């Protein structure tokens, strides 16, 4: 039973692979995030010797600013995330993408094909792909070539992407049901009839299955693309952004945030009560409810929701 998703959202998530939430961020949340982006951009430029018009992306963005960290358990987004993927989750990645307008002499390649000068110049994710399907992940071992459902991301739009060619995210609705190999066979040329360029205002959010084929269009506008993705996957998979988050950050977090940051309740061995002869990872077998406080939270939310829906 869903906590927050409407029937239409459930249908869209299942069939298209994504749900669009216009004006999701409140003006003060958006202003805080934009100021965080500027602050972090200054630090990245200094650390990496970048010029103001150089694009960059950072991972584990949550560790770089409290405004980014606060997105992981955003009180209006978390219920939707749990409806989409369940409560047994943690963060795989949080990334910030900062992409100033293309230099005038840089020619954009055909959208999603990844063979243009922009791809060669190092602009990231300009070719169509599903996440987690590279050769050394599910591309190799999967027998029927299908990607299991492993992950959702929330895409937060911080700058104006309402016009075409502003560094928009493109999605191919329903492609999460296809086999990633097909995309390679198509030479990454997705039929325009099977693709949508999301044209979204600042403050919009998109909850999406990352198995959905996606790419980033060129930024031919005069505005810098500023966006974040917050990715959630199952606790029994390994995150990409960290082995363990900073212990001080974990200790200062609420139980639910600690779970999302990949932490366990502080006492006991991470491989259970009998680590020598019967080790059993607490990421796999849940013996202490404190390791997954999101479960009780989800159950409580669901029963409150069903009480609310009961006819009087
Ligand atoms: O920057 C984006 O919006 C897309 C990022 C992306 O394609 C990815 O991380 O796989």
Instruction: Determine the Cα–Cα distance for residues 33 and 156; give it in Å rounded to an integer.
Output: 10
With a Cβ cut-off of 6 Å, ligand 1 is lined by: 97, 125, 131, 169, 214, 216, 227, 229
Å from CA of 213 to ligand 1 middle = 10
**From the alpha carbon of 93, which atom of ligand 1 is closest?**
9
Å from CA of 210 to ligand 1 middle = 9
Give the per-residue pLDDT at 267. 87
Instruction: Determine the Cα–Cα distance for residues 50 and 39; give it in Å rounded to an integer.
Output: 14
> Measuring CA to CA, which residue among 149, 9, 157, 169 is closest to residue 80?
9
Per-residue pLDDT 10s for the chain (312 aa) are 789 999 999 999 999 999 999 999 999 999 999 999 999 999 999 999 999 999 999 999 999 999 999 999 999 999 999 999 999 999 999 999 999 999 999 999 899 998 999 999 888 898 999 999 887 777 666 667 888 899 999 999 999 999 999 999 999 999 999 999 899 899 989 999 999 999 999 999 999 999 999 999 999 999 999 999 999 999 999 999 999 999 999 999 999 999 999 999 998 999 988 999 999 999 998 988 999 999 999 999 988 877 665 555
231 burial type by CB count under 10 A (0-12 exposed, 13-18 middle, 19+ buried): buried
Cα–Cα distances (Å) from 265 to 221, 238, 241, 273, in that order, read 47, 18, 21, 14
Cα Dmax for the chain: 66
Å from CA of 215 to ligand 1 middle = 7
Give the per-residue pLDDT at 133. 87
- Sheet containing strand 214-216, strands side by side: 196-197, 169-171, 214-216
> Measuring CA to CA, which residue among 44, 86, 49, 46 is closest to residue 65?
44
Choice from 125, 180, 196, 210 to test ligand 1 binding pocket (greatest atom count within 8 A of CB): 125
**Structural domains in the chain, sorted by start:** 7-263 (2.60.120.620)
> Measuring CA to CA, which residue among 154, 167, 161, 33 is closest to residue 93?
154
pTM of the model: 0.96
Å from CA of 308 to ligand 1 middle = 38
Å from CA of 216 to ligand 1 middle = 7
3 state DSSP class of 153: strand
Instruction: Determine the Cα–Cα distance for residues 261 and 127; give it in Å rounded to an integer.
Output: 30
**From the alpha carbon of 210, which atom of ligand 1 is closest?**
10
**From the alpha carbon of 95, which atom of ligand 1 is closest?**
9
> What sign results for the dihedral spanned by CA atoms 138, 168, 67, 152?
negative
Give the per-residue pLDDT at 122. 87
Give the per-residue pLDDT at 90. 98
Å from CA of 285 to ligand 1 middle = 32
Give the per-residue pLDDT at 142. 66
Count of beta carbons in the 10 Å neighbourhood of residue 197:
17
């Amino acid at each position: 039973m869903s906590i927050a998703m409407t029937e239409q959202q459930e249908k869209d998530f299942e069939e298209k692979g994504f749900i669009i939430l216009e004006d999701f961020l409140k003006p003060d949340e958006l202003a805080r995030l934009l100021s965080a982006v500027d602050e972090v951009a200054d630090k990245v430029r200094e650390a990496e010797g970048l010029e103001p018009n150089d694009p960059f992306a950072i991972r584990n963005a949550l560790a770089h600013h409290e405004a980014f960290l606060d997105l992981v358990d955003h009180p209006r987004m978390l219920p939707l995330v749990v409806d989409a993927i369940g409560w047994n989750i943690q963060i795989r990645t949080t990334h910030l993408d900062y992409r100033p307008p293309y230099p005038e002499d840089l020619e954009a390649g055909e959208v999603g094909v990844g063979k243009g000068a922009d791809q060669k110049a190092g602009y990231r994710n300009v070719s169509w792909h599903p996440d987690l399907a590279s050769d050394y992940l599910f591309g190799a071992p999967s027998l029927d070539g299908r990607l299991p459902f492993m992950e959702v991301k929330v895409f937060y739009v911080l700058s104006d992407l309402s016009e075409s060619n502003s560094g928009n995210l493109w999605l191919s609705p329903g492609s999460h049901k296809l086999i990633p190999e097909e995309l390679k066979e198509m030479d990454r040329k997705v039929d325009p009839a099977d693709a949508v360029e999301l044209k979204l205002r600042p403050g919009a959010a998109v909850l999406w299955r990352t198995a959905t084929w996606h790419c980033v269009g060129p930024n031919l506008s005069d505005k810098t693309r500023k966006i974040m993705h917050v990715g959630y996957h199952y606790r029994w998979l390994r995150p990409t952004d960290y082995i363990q988050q900073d212990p001080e950050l974990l200790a200062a977090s609420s139980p639910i945030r600690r779970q999302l940051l990949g932490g366990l309740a502080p006492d006991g061995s991470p491989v259970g009560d009998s680590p020598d002869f019967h080790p059993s990872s607490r990421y796999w077998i849940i013996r202490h409810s404190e390791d997954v406080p999101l479960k009780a939270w989800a159950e409580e939310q669901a029963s409150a929701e069903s009480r609310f829906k009961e006819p009087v």
